[in-house]
Structures are given as C-alpha cells and as structure tokens.
Structure 1
Amino acid sequence: MTTTEQPILLAAVSLFSALHLGFQARRVGWSRMKYKIMPPAVNGPPEFERTFRAHQNGVEFYPVFLVVLWTSGLFCNEALAALGGLVYVVAREMYFTGYANSAEGRLPGFYLMICVLLALAVTAAVGIIPSFLDKYLSIKILSRSI
C-alpha cells in the first residue's frame, strides 16, 4: 500500500480521539484527588460521580465510534468520515464538560454525538452495500471509472 492509498486522515482522527479519551481519564483522576475518592471506589459527591460517568460513557461508545468511523472512511469517503470524527470528538468534549457540570448539561453534546454516529453509520452502509453486492452477488449498482 502506497502512502497515497493509506487512510492517513482516519488514522490521525483515531489517534486524536484516543488522546482525547486519555485526557478525559486524567480529568477523572483530578476529580478523584479533588474529592479524595480512592480507587476502586466510584461513589462520592455528585460532581465526582458525573465526571466518572461522563468518562465511562465515552469509553462505552468508543468501539462504536471507531467501527463506524473506519467503515465509513474506507467504504464511502475518508475525508467526510474524518470530518465526522472530528465533530464527534468535539461532541464528546461538550458531553463530558456538560455532564461534569450538571446532568442536564450533557444533552447538547449527547444529541450531537448521536447525530454524528448515525451519519457515519449511514455513510458506512451506503459504502458497504454496493461493495457487498458486487463482490458476493455480482450485482453492480455503482460503476466506478478509473
């Protein structure tokens, strides 16, 4: 695979999102220190519990994000998927910060995050279906000229 064929944008967004998730984990650590919550405890003041849950929710959604990001990027459009991935990271930050402040504060980030995941899933499906039909059923519904 040549450099021009490598999914560089997808890799860059994946790395950025992983670093962001790690930074959010660090913020949970800072919250532990602030409220004197020693691991493995996850109970404490509501401020700590919201911060902890905000990060856990991010961890729970992360595999879904990576699957739809890469599938969309490889089968539909890498640049569009990478842009969606960046918007997703912004939405995760909105969610995390909003949730840490109040339970209701998480909603704008949550709605944006769900919209991005849905858009990436739809573009992934749009990309996979023609490839699947062509490869396994010899049905060409899109013609690609070189």
Structure 2
Amino acid sequence: MEPVFLGAVTILGLLEQAYFSLQVIYARRKYSVSPPSITGPPEFNRVYRAQANCSEYFPLFITALWTSGVFFNEGLSSMCGVLYLYGRLQYFWGYASSPQGRLDPLYFCAKVLWTLIGCSTIGVFQSFFKIYLHMDLLQITATALGFY
C-alpha cells in the first residue's frame, strides 16, 4: 500500500508552513520591521510568534502523522492530520488578531496531536509484538474483552 494520503497531508502541511512564513514577510513590510529584528509593534509580534509556534510543532506533527499512519491506520491518521492543519490555521489567524484568539485552536491542536501520538504508540507496540514476539495484541485484547 502506498501512503498517498499521508503524502498529501504532508504537502498540505508544507504549504501551510510556507503561507505562515509569507505572512511574516508581509508583516515585516507592513510594520517596517527589518531582519534580523524579531520585535516590533504588537501586531507584528503576534504574527511572528504565531509562525514560530507553528514551526516549532511541525516536526512533532509530521513524525506523529507518519508513525501513526504507517503503524496504526493511514486513513484515520490522515484525517487527524487534516484536522490538525485546520486547527493550526485557526490558531495562526486567531493569534494574529489577539493573544486570546489562539487558545481554543491551541487546545484543539493539542488534542489532535496527542491522538496521533497515542495511535503511533499503539501501532508501534502492536507491530513490535507481532513481528518479534509473534503475539497479536489486538486479537488478545479482543478475546479478553469477549469479542472473539
């Protein structure tokens, strides 16, 4: 199986990161904040921090997305990825408007990211047990719960 959906979400994420970076460039021009300066009027500072915060979390997101998609479920992971990217866009726009505008999207993104991390963990453990210990944890769990 080719991880097409994971690739598509990754490309969307890269485009979103590029959009955030461009917004900082536009804000630099609008508020006359020349590089390498990273401070200016509050309006610039919010755009700059929103972009920086999104960039800081991007490696965590991509790692969790791919690990969850490869080891757990590509469809569910890709859907979570799209939700995360939507949440990050809302976060960026909210933060650019006001510091309080970032909070609800931030909490949403954290929940989605933790879901991806949880699915990654379950998927890796399941694969490890299946490959190296010849035990199917899902089947064992389903049997223990009376589903088999």
Whether the TM-score (by the shorter chain) exceeds 0.5 is yes
Q: Aligned to 2:29, what secondary structure does the other structure show?
A: helix
Match of 1:33 in 2: 29
Distance 1:82 1:138 in 2: 28
Distance 1:76 1:39 in 2: 43
One-letter code aligned to 2:134? S
- What are structure 2's unaligned runs of at least 5 residues? 140-148
Match of 1:67 in 2: 63
RMSD: 1.0
- What are structure 1's unaligned runs of at least 5 residues? none
Structure 1 residue 104: Cα displacement: 0.8
2:30 corresponds to 1:55: no
Distance 1:58 1:38 in 2: 21
Distance 2:47 2:26 in 1: 10
Distance 1:33 1:17 in 2: 25
2:10 corresponds to 1:9: no
Count, aligned residues: 139
Q: Aligned to 1:41, what secondary structure does the other structure show?
A: coil
Distance 2:30 2:9 in 1: 31
Distance 2:84 2:6 in 1: 13
Distance 2:111 2:70 in 1: 20
Match of 2:83 in 1: 87
With the length of structure 2 as denominator, give the TM-score of the two structures.
0.90
One-letter code aligned to 2:25? G
With the length of structure 1 as denominator, give the TM-score of the two structures.
0.91
2:122 corresponds to 1:126: yes
Percentage identity across paired residues of the two chains: 39
| 1:18-66 Cα deviation digits (max 9, x unpaired) | 0011011001110000000001100100110010000000110000000
2:98 corresponds to 1:102: yes
Q: Aligned to 1:44, what secondary structure does the other structure show?
A: coil
Structure 1 residue 130: Cα displacement: 1.2
